[in-house]
Amino acid sequence: MTDITDQKKQAEAGFKNFHRSLCERFGYFHDELDWQRDQVSLEEHIATQFSHVNAENAVLRGQVDALQRAAGQLQEQVEALSVKVAP
């Protein structure tokens, strides 16, 4: 019986440490006493951060696409000018 109790305590301590490390990594307050109750809020906090990152990535992809189109247009203009200048 003691082995199972010790295993349970070790598992809980391991999960608590995992929770603490997630809180640190994602800038969330780790509540030492009510950390189990706070798991859903931590998940929501992490999901919100990923939503912001995904939105930023979408904006950056749009900017990259626009720059690539502009670079293609400039390349076409350079080629057109090269043909006009060539003897």
Amino acid letter for position 5:
T
Distance, in Å, from the CA atom of 11 to the CA atom of 5, rounded to the nearest integer, reads 10
What pLDDT digit, counting tens, does each position of 25-35 carry?
999 988 888 88
Chunk the chain into consecutive blocks of 10 residues (it has 87) and report each block's average pLDDT, rounded to whole numbers: 86 91 91 84 91 94 96 92 76
Q: What is the DSSP letter of 76?
A: H
The predicted structure's pLDDT at residue 84: 76
Distance, in Å, from the CA atom of 30 to the CA atom of 34, rounded to the nearest integer, reads 9
